[in-house]
Structure 1
Amino acid sequence: MSAYGIVTVTRTLDFSGSALPFRVLVDGALVGKVRIGGSVELPVTPGVHRVRLAQTLFASAPLTLQVEPGGRHHLIAGISRGLRVFVPSRALLLVARADPAA
């Protein structure tokens, strides 16, 4: 069994905001970038971590994950819809995918 867990972030094919990559931050540290339609797999130490996205002036709400050794978390990244688009700290969307096989 691995001493790390894996967090995979997959970015949707949203056209708006597609020119720039989303920066992926774990506990405030930049650990990767993901471009439109792409994904990134990140090894993360076991424990509780806060994951969020950032892009120039915009960010997502932090998502708290409990990472287990050898465990996997699949996250979907995109652009928020509705009024959250007008709140820069919530303009990006980061959600856990309920079924990794989907």
Structure 2
Amino acid sequence: MITSEKINETIFNALDEINQLLPDENKIEKKEDTVLYGAYSRLDSLGLVNLIVTVEQRVQDELGRSIDLTDEKALSRKNSPFLTVKTLSDYIASLNNE
């Protein structure tokens, strides 16, 4: 079973990778309540896409699970799974339980 701690660690590793591409003032904090999407996010739309792809790759490499974060299920949810690190982690955990 993949724990929420392991999922968070995987997301944080993806954030480390994305942060290497960002100027210091735009670096993304590695905390569960960090906003990833919306008005308070430090990511623009391309940055969010890069993060999503990086998280998918990291989940495959580190957790051995292939996931699609941009499928209809994710994009049609009332509350976006990309709002914060926590919502993304919870969404990945829900995919793991399917």
- With the length of structure 2 as denominator, give the TM-score of the two structures: 0.30
Which protein is richer in strand relative to its size?
A: 1
Which structure is larger by alpha-carbon Rg, 1 or 2? Answer: 1
Larger RCO (CA under 8 A, 6+ residues apart): 2
Which protein is richer in helix relative to its size?
A: 2
- With the length of structure 1 as denominator, give the TM-score of the two structures: 0.30
